[in-house]
Structure 1
Amino acid sequence: MKTFARITKRMALPVLAIGSLLWITCSGTAERPNTLTSQEAEEGWTLLFDGHSTAGWHIFNQGKVPSAWRAVNGELWCDPQVTDAVHGDLVTDSTYTDFELVFDWKIAKGGNSGVFINVQEGPAYGTAYATGPEMQLLDNEYAEERHRSNPSHLAGSVYDVVGDAEQSKPVPFGQWNHSRIRQKDGKVTFWLNGQVTAEVQLGSEAWTGLVATGNLGNFPEFGKAKQGRIALQDHTDEVFFRNMKIKRL
């Protein structure tokens, strides 16, 4: 028995080491959340969320004001219970044209949020969604019926424009999803947990037709820009983000 125990103990350390290496490799992220691997840094990736502050972000059209967005335990959290600060969409200080964005997100039961791209700010625009196409973040299973029954409202869709119910497979509420957004020369592709959930060409005849059939067609500047800010939606539902990384193309 002693001999077996010694052999088992000696084997355990290499197995654990290999397991840790596989976790890092398969996850595609650094071992610690909100950090870059050396390869990511060499490829030009930068962090949008540093893990401990909202540096690099501000509230849409309101600048650097105290907000419902907090950095807690390495997660960027929109707290719906906040009453002593401003609620609103959180937008990047920087603007982006061609880029690739990756991030992890989780949401409350029945929750609804989103990530916008190409957002324009200014007095002429009352909301982020008036200009920026949105990747829908949703708890599909417990969402309102109006969302569950509309493919363009499911997680990973271009909200209210186009979606794919077969590919929209978020994990249960309270667990981490992984999303990716790529924009190059106006071609936008969304991924959710490794699956392509939407692909559009901004400015194309097909895009214009899709927008016109939904409510977003009421906003004359929606989806017209091919550059702008990234925005996180405050939809009064609890939502969390981490590992937000972006690379200019």
Structure 2
Amino acid sequence: MKKLMIFLTVVFVLGCKQKEKQETTTEIVEVEKEVVQEENGWQVLFDGTSFDGWHVYPGKEVPDAWQLEDGAMILRTSSYRKDGTRFNMVTDKEYSNFQLSIEWMVTEGANSGIMWSVVEDEKYPEPYYTGPEIQVLDNINHPDAKNGTTHQAGALYDMVAPSKDVVKPIGEWNTYLITINHKTNEGIVVLNGIKIVEFPVNGEGWETMVANSKFETWEVFGKSKTGKIALQDHGEAISIGYRNIKIKEL
């Protein structure tokens, strides 16, 4: 009996040490990943496991209309939409000059957008009152695609059309690399590895674009150089997905 107790004790101790070793190894791997990301200047905005760092505009908790599925945040509004409620997702932090890497996917008839320099204030009912938008759209089935190429996926909405249509079919994931840099006065959109849009982000060039768009009389549109990043809920009962979101401040 004593020998058996000693044997069980040894097994228990070895088991504990092995578990501690595995936990330590996992922690080291996670730390190494974080170090690599930080060294390259990239910070994860959405890792697929939680909505940490995000909330719904203006200043609301993330509702069940946004769900976590297979490493993505998916907007499913059909069961949650009441009285025109919108579920625009925005970052907790504000950004000025950055590169944003983000994957997006639309279902049939979907419409969304990625906005920057969003001023979060209840006096502005929607993020688009202040934040310019890179369009996310089903170019084939959504009626807005028929309103010109400046309304199609990849466009700086209502201002600059994409030079090429390189959008993947409905249900497949697309990748944006969006650069906004006020220091160099550059806005760049790369879609699925192809540069499709370039534009100034301040000064006379920016003001001319705004003056020639639907935003001409919008007093606060695009005025701020700093603000939240937003993922738009356009109001339809259509699913939209985003994943692998990271940012590098410039």
- Equivalent residues of 2:51, 2:62 under 8 A apart: no
Residue aligned with 1:182, SS:
strand
1:202 is displaced (CA, Å) by 2.0
1:37 is displaced (CA, Å) by 8.0
TM-score between both structures, scaled by the size of structure 1: 0.79
Residue aligned with 2:233, SS:
coil
Q: Distance in 2 between matches of 1:91 and 1:51?
A: 16
Aligned to 1:95: 94
Aligned to 2:69: 72
Residue aligned with 2:140, SS:
helix
Q: Distance in 1 between matches of 2:88 and 2:206?
A: 25
- Measured on the aligned residues, the alpha-carbon RMSD in Å equals 2.0
Aligned to 1:240: 241
Kindly provide the amino acid, as one letter, of the partner of residue 176 in structure 1.
W
Deviations 1:84-139 (A, max 9, x none): 78632100000011111101110011211110011001133221001111110112
- Equivalent residues of 2:101, 2:246 under 8 A apart: yes
1:218 is displaced (CA, Å) by 3.0
Say if 1:82 and 1:41 are closer, same or farther in 2 by CA, change over 3 A. Answer: farther
Deviations 1:141-175 (A, max 9, x none): 2221x4235111111111111112x4132101100
* Identical columns (%): 35
Matches within 5 A, 1:1-249: 39-83=36-80, 87-144=86-143, 146-164=144-162, 166-184=163-181, 185=183, 186-235=185-234, 236=236, 237-249=238-250
Q: Show structure 1 runs of 4+ deviating over 3 A.
A: 36-41, 84-87
Count of matched residue positions in the alignment of Structure 1 and Structure 2: 212
Residues 220-229 or 36-45, more deviating: 36-45
TM-score between both structures, scaled by the size of structure 2: 0.78
Deviations 1:186-205 (A, max 9, x none): 42111111122222212222
Unpaired segments ≥5 residues, structure 2: 1-32
Q: Distance in 2 between matches of 1:122 and 1:40?
A: 32
- Equivalent residues of 1:117, 1:133 under 8 A apart: yes
Kindly provide the amino acid, as one letter, of the partner of residue 198 in structure 1.
V
Unpaired segments ≥5 residues, structure 1: 1-35
Q: Distance in 1 between matches of 2:87 and 2:217?
A: 21
Kindly provide the amino acid, as one letter, of the partner of residue 42 in structure 2.
W
- Equivalent residues of 1:53, 1:70 under 8 A apart: no
Larger radius of gyration: 2
- Equivalent residues of 1:168, 1:192 under 8 A apart: no
Q: Distance in 2 between matches of 1:67 and 1:59?
A: 11
Q: Distance in 1 between matches of 2:164 and 2:36?
A: 30
Kindly provide the amino acid, as one letter, of the partner of residue 142 in structure 2.
A
Aligned to 2:5: none
Residue aligned with 2:113, SS:
strand
Kindly provide the amino acid, as one letter, of the partner of residue 114 in structure 1.
G
Deviations 1:25-45 (A, max 9, x none): xxxxxxxxxxx6864342121
